[in-house]
Chains A and B, each alone.
Chain A
Amino acid sequence: MEILYASCVGLLVSCGVFLILRSRTFPVVLGLTMLSYAVNLFLFSSGRLSLNKAAVLGTGTEYADPLPQAFVLTAIVIGFAMTAFVVILAIRGRADLGNDHVDGELSDKDNKAKV
């Protein structure tokens, strides 16, 4: 299962990075979200994979590592705050600048295409 897990993380990183490299804000936001999934899963994996060993005392004899879980939990919430901020920034940027290009202005090529 380790191979499967690692491949999923890798694929999420690939998809996230590709989306982040796009030129419009919305795909970049999606890319960030995707990358956050990957990073959270990666962080989580530092506690290794374990089935049916939730870190609730009294439910078994062995427990999953609770520390990465606690970190990832806060990371998920912070990740939400970041995504929200970036997407609102994108809206504000589009309202103020008139386009949703990540650089705030259309490149020369786009301008030529428009003309």
Chain B
Amino acid sequence: MTLLWIPLLSLLGSIISSTTGKLSRNQSTALTLLTPIIALAFAISLAPAVFAGDVIRQTISWIPLLGIDIAFRLDGLALLFVFMILGIGILVIFYARYYLSSNDSMPKLYAYLMLFMTAMLGIVMSNNVIQLWFFWELTSISSFLLISYWWHKAEARKGAIMALAITGGGGLALLAGLLLLGNIVGSYNLDIILASKEIIQAHAWYEITLILILLGAFTKSAQFPFHFWLPHAMAAPTPVSAYLHSATMVKAGIFLLARFYPALAGTELWFLLVSLTGLSTLLFGAYIALFKHDLKGLLAYSTISHLGLITLLLGLDTQLATVAAIFHIINHATFKASLFMATGIIDHETGTRDMRKLNGMWRFMPYTATLAMVAAASMAGVPLLNGFLSKEMFFAETLHQQLLGSMSWLIPVLATVAGALAVAYSARFIHDVFFNGDPIDLPKQPSEPPRYMRVPIEILVALCLIVGIFPNFVVDDILRAASFAVIGGYVPEYKVALWHGFNLPLLMSAIAVTGGILLYSQRRYLYQYQASLPTLDAKKLFDGTIYVVTKWCQRKISAIENGSLQRYLMLMFAIVLILAGGPLFEMSQLGGQKQPTPIDVHNAVGAALLMIGAISTVIWHRSRVISLLMISVVGLMVSVAFTRLSAPDLALTQLTVEVVTIVLLMLALFFLPQRSPKESSSIHVLRDLGVSAALGIVVSSVCYALLTRPLESISDFFLANAKTGGGGTNVVNVILVDFRGFDTLGEIIVLGIAALGIAKLLANLPLIMPSTDSEGRSWAKERYPILLASISQSLLPLALMVSFYIFLRGHNLPGGGFIAGLVTAIAFILQYIAHGSNWIAERLTINYRKIIASGIIIALFTGVGSWFFERPFMTTWFDYFDIPFIGEIELASALVFDLGVYLTVVGATLMILASLGQLTANAPKEGVHV
């Protein structure tokens, strides 16, 4: 097994658990627990190597050019977090089995939890910072799903959105920071980044990089002033809170600080930002926690406060402080997870979490009460428990620093104040809930929970005690390994012990405990004072900000995007004019060195006709039929130009497309008004004329500049290889079906899609057909003139033969699948025009869709066919055969490809025109002209 398996197993677990909907709750839980237990066993098997100082790595190359690999790395810090994520995750899954009611979907919660676990494992084990960021965002998204698990509750939805907005926003800052970091170092590899402390800190971007990365960490870890999402995230089911807000989600921010500590820490900026943020969060969280009546609210603010404590420790410039921070990460995870779970039991058994109602629970659930009280005592920092040890280390470290210069004595004082507040809210948790008189109208009659619901808490509380009493036996290895990874090579001598003798930290602890109890006993006055303060609701502030920002964006968007096509086009053309016209002014000379071709009479006449056609189209654009006729002149002249200028294939294509287009537009005109009203004011017309004239001038200048410069083309290759490599002498066709056959394949697919789209647009069209033209004249009674009908009928076989001929000769002479397809289509369209859709439908049932599909399939499989001969996609094969009576002919696989093109063109063209034409046959007639 390799490192990749740890997150992979967890992801697998997510998939497995999502499929357990039909199984019983026990089976579902057992199956979900399977993969994390395997992963944990694997992680434990790796532990000895990591404790010995090894870093285990695994790299799978992914996008080497961008320096992005799938890379995993397991050092002491990562291993510590892997243990916490998997260990507490397993307990939470087990606990959730008893917590969820039968109405809640268990597979859904488990699948989200396991997804979240995957994301967390990915963060702590990534060896590539981009990959780390990916998992970071995945935690934001999966925690959104978890918090909004009870999506029918408005507070759950709002809490989830708030958490996503804050942590997601921080994630963007983090991405920017990581990209800068990668640019500074020249690699996204974490190993290299962690070894480049000097380069990073000497770089001009260091400050901004640090601030961006800290923003990511602080938002995730709910540091003041980004803390407010965390209390609102308490709308999640309690197992989720126990997982996200003790050991994982919020610790991801702390992890990030610890992870980048070797590369980013050590500067004054780091110490100031991190320690002051930590200190203010520590105090603020502890203070607010005291006033929360909701049990989970109290725990939420206490979590914020403890996260502040860890952050503060990481911001103190001693190495022992870092050790203390890591130790407190472990301790906080254990006691806070067990407290959340205990809260969940109380909520589960009584139906409320309000401490004003919950009193005297000791009588109803003494066992749970004992467990909760031990955990709460650990939170308060009472001796014999793990919380005491790290708090003691914290107090000791606050004494040894000069962060605030001569005012540095403030830090230990403030730390003691925070300690006293922690004691006070812990005392409240114990006293208010379990003692303090009788319960006040509880929704449920409380009792002890199911036996196994308490097991996870028992395990965690036992850990609190064991670590608290025998710290060196239990956590020394992992603490040392993690500290080694964070400090970077050297772990200072430290001694975690219960008894250090009478010293200053012990005095601080004593003051904190006494002060805390005193505070709690005088709480009535404190509450009165707090109630008299103006309240500042962060949620309202957040909602208000979101509202203002959304409004602002909406205004900006509607200013740019007002729904007027003319305006967008005008802007677009103006931009084109500037971008394309600007460089023209920088050219010294428009004309090039190429000898100009003389103008002959034919060309001059053709050009004149084209210009007259174009101008007439514009002049008569409001009389639509006339302008349509005029534009057909232009199209005709374009195909004449192609004939003249050595492009016979283009001329044939243009001519046939022209016919189809004009027929189509003619048909369309039947359903559209015949005249356009005069709408634009003279000023508008003048403006449009100006822009279009300017664009025309720019384009003709560019075209002229292009034409008068000598040609450097890659086409010599095509000319040289068309016959020998592609087996055809018509180079244009060989390019289409062979050299650039892949383009052609794409093109016929687009054609097919357009035809299908048109058929769908025309389906169920509520059409009202005018019975007269715009001047009130009724249509001709003779719908299908007999002359046209008979001629077109006799022309059909002839036209088909011509198209067949054009198709066959296409590889060597002008022609090919496109042109042949259009000729065939025109032959059929003529039948439609001469006889009407119903007449055709009676005689011929063609499914155009099938023709398009078979065309594309034939073309595709001709291309794929060359794979069977171990050649690249679309390699042409050709050979010459001698057939009696006919003579030598050439057969090429390109011909089959061209057949595919032919079929697609026929199918698509006929489908477009026939589905429009069909409307006239079926649509109801109405006398009123619309």
Q: Which residues of A contact B (CB under 8 A)?
A: 1-30, 33-34, 37-38, 40-42, 44-58, 63-67, 69-70, 72-74, 76-85, 87-92, 94-96, 100, 102-103, 107, 109-110
CA–CA, A1 to B651, complex, Å? 19
> A55-B646, A87-B665 are known contacts. Are A9 and B599 too (CB-CB below 8 A)?
no
Residues of A within 8 A of B688 (CB): 17-18, 21
A-B contact pairs, 26 of them (CB 8 A): A1-B597, A2-B596, A2-B707, A7-B611, A8-B611, A9-B703, A12-B696, A13-B692, A21-B570, A26-B624, A28-B565, A34-B614, A48-B707, A54-B814, A55-B732, A57-B731, A63-B646, A67-B735, A73-B732, A78-B747, A82-B754, A84-B664, A91-B762, A102-B566, A103-B565, A107-B679
B896: Cβ under 8 A from any A Cβ: no
Residues of A within 8 A of B594 (CB): 48
User: Which chain B residues (182-227) contact chain A, with CB distance < 8 Å?
Assistant: none
B418: Cβ under 8 A from any A Cβ: no
CB distance from A49 to the nearest CB of B (A): 6
CB distance from A79 to the nearest CB of B (A): 8
Task: Give B590's nearest chain A residue, CB to CB.
Answer: A6
* Contact pattern, B 709-748, Cβ under 8 Å of A = 1, otherwise 0: 0010111001100110000011110011000100110010
CA–CA, A56 to B809, complex, Å? 12
A-B contact count (CB 8 A): 308
Complex A-B, nearest 7 residue pairs according to Cβ-Cβ distance, in ascending order = A10-B700, A14-B696, A6-B704, A17-B692, A81-B754, A57-B729, A64-B646
> A49-B707, A73-B736, A88-B916 are known contacts. Are A19 and B618 too (CB-CB below 8 A)?
yes
B506: Cβ under 8 A from any A Cβ: no
CB distance from A13 to the nearest CB of B (A): 4
User: Are A41 and B762 touching (Cβ within 8 A)?
Assistant: no
* Contact pattern, B 761-798, Cβ under 8 Å of A = 1, otherwise 0: 11001111000000000000000000000000000000
CB distance from A7 to the nearest CB of B (A): 5
Chain B interface residue count, CB cutoff 8 Å, equals 112
Task: Give B671's nearest chain A residue, CB to CB.
Answer: A91
For the residues of A in contact with B, the DSSP-based class is helix
Residues of A within 8 A of B627 (CB): 27, 30
| Stretch in contact with the other chain, from B407-415, B517-525, B637-645 | B637-645
Residues of B within 8 A of A23 (CB): 566, 676, 679-680
User: Are B631 and A30 touching (Cβ within 8 A)?
Assistant: yes
B446: Cβ under 8 A from any A Cβ: no
CA–CA, A5 to B638, complex, Å? 11
User: Are B695 and A95 touching (Cβ within 8 A)?
Assistant: no
* Selected contact of A91 from candidates B597, B646, B672, B708, CB within 8 Å: B672
CB distance from B589 to the nearest CB of A (A): 14
CA–CA, A81 to B746, complex, Å? 13
* Selected contact of A22 from candidates B599, B621, B736, B768, CB within 8 Å: B621
CA–CA, A49 to B750, complex, Å? 30
Residues of A within 8 A of B702 (CB): 42
CA–CA, A27 to B618, complex, Å? 9
CA–CA, A90 to B758, complex, Å? 11
B628: Cβ under 8 A from any A Cβ: yes
Residues of B within 8 A of A45 (CB): 703, 706-707
Residues of A within 8 A of B673 (CB): 24, 26, 100
Residues of B within 8 A of A88 (CB): 668, 758, 761-762, 912, 916
Residues of B within 8 A of A1 (CB): 596-600, 603
* Further pairs besides A13-B699, A24-B679: 13, Cβ < 8 Å: A4-B607, A14-B692, A19-B617, A21-B688, A23-B676, A29-B668, A34-B614, A44-B647, A78-B750, A85-B761, A91-B761, A95-B765, A95-B766
B649: Cβ under 8 A from any A Cβ: yes
User: Are B719 and A66 touching (Cβ within 8 A)?
Assistant: yes
B352: Cβ under 8 A from any A Cβ: no
B604: Cβ under 8 A from any A Cβ: yes
> A47-B713, A67-B718 are known contacts. Are A41 and B569 too (CB-CB below 8 A)?
no
Residues of B within 8 A of A49 (CB): 597, 645, 707
> A4-B599, A4-B603 are known contacts. Are A41 and B672 too (CB-CB below 8 A)?
no
B266: Cβ under 8 A from any A Cβ: no
Task: Give A52's nearest chain B residue, CB to CB.
Answer: B646
CA–CA, A7 to B695, complex, Å? 12
* Contact pattern, B 602-613, Cβ under 8 Å of A = 1, otherwise 0: 011001001100
User: Are B645 and A44 touching (Cβ within 8 A)?
Assistant: yes
User: Are A87 and B814 touching (Cβ within 8 A)?
Assistant: no
Residues of B within 8 A of A16 (CB): 692
Residues of A within 8 A of B649 (CB): 69, 73
CA–CA, A109 to B812, complex, Å? 59
B563: Cβ under 8 A from any A Cβ: yes
For the residues of B in contact with A, the DSSP-based class is helix
Task: Give B758's nearest chain A residue, CB to CB.
Answer: A88
Residues of A within 8 A of B573 (CB): 17, 21
User: Are B650 and A44 touching (Cβ within 8 A)?
Assistant: yes
Residues of B within 8 A of A56 (CB): 648, 729-731, 812-814
Residues of B within 8 A of A38 (CB): 699
Residues of A within 8 A of B715 (CB): 47, 65-67
Q: Which residues of B contact A (CB under 8 A)?
A: 563-566, 569-570, 573, 594, 596-600, 603-604, 607, 610-611, 614-615, 617-618, 621-622, 624, 627-628, 631, 634-635, 638, 641-642, 644-650, 653-654, 657, 660-661, 664-665, 668-669, 671-673, 676-677, 679-680, 688-689, 691-693, 695-697, 699-704, 706-708, 711, 713-715, 718-719, 722-723, 729-732, 735-736, 740, 743-744, 747, 750-751, 754-755, 757-758, 761-762, 765-768, 812-814, 818, 905, 908-909, 912, 916
Task: Give A55's nearest chain B residue, CB to CB.
Answer: B731
Task: Give A57's nearest chain B residue, CB to CB.
Answer: B729
Task: Give A14's nearest chain B residue, CB to CB.
Answer: B696
CA–CA, A61 to B661, complex, Å? 36
Residues of A within 8 A of B905 (CB): 77
> A14-B696, A54-B646, A73-B732 are known contacts. Are A83 and B747 too (CB-CB below 8 A)?
no
Residues of B within 8 A of A96 (CB): 766
* Selected contact of B672 from candidates A13, A14, A25, A109, CB within 8 Å: A25
Among B564, B600, B671, max chain A CB count under 10 A is at B671
CA–CA, A15 to B708, complex, Å? 24
Residues of B within 8 A of A3 (CB): 596, 704
CA–CA, A99 to B614, complex, Å? 27
> A6-B703, A67-B713, A76-B654 are known contacts. Are A94 and B818 too (CB-CB below 8 A)?
no
Task: Give B901's nearest chain A residue, CB to CB.
Answer: A77
Residues of A within 8 A of B653 (CB): 73, 76-77
User: Are A77 and B614 touching (Cβ within 8 A)?
Assistant: no
> A9-B700, A21-B566, A33-B631 are known contacts. Are A92 and B719 too (CB-CB below 8 A)?
no
Residues of B within 8 A of A25 (CB): 672
CB distance from A3 to the nearest CB of B (A): 6
User: Are B696 and A17 touching (Cβ within 8 A)?
Assistant: yes
Task: Give A48's nearest chain B residue, CB to CB.
Answer: B711
> A6-B700, A84-B664, A88-B668 are known contacts. Are A14 and B693 too (CB-CB below 8 A)?
yes
Residues of B within 8 A of A109 (CB): 679
CB distance from A51 to the nearest CB of B (A): 6
Residues of B within 8 A of A100 (CB): 672-673
CA–CA, A13 to B668, complex, Å? 24
CA–CA, A26 to B673, complex, Å? 9
CA–CA, A69 to B762, complex, Å? 34
Residues of A within 8 A of B650 (CB): 44, 69, 72-73, 76
Task: Give B644's nearest chain A residue, CB to CB.
Answer: A51
Task: Give A70's nearest chain B residue, CB to CB.
Answer: B735
User: Are A41 and B729 touching (Cβ within 8 A)?
Assistant: no
Among B600, B607, B679, max chain A CB count under 10 A is at B679
User: Are A67 and B676 touching (Cβ within 8 A)?
Assistant: no
CB distance from B580 to the nearest CB of A (A): 11
User: Are B703 and A27 touching (Cβ within 8 A)?
Assistant: no
CB distance from B722 to the nearest CB of A (A): 6
Task: Give A1's nearest chain B residue, CB to CB.
Answer: B597
User: Are B618 and A91 touching (Cβ within 8 A)?
Assistant: no
Residues of B within 8 A of A33 (CB): 631, 635, 661, 665
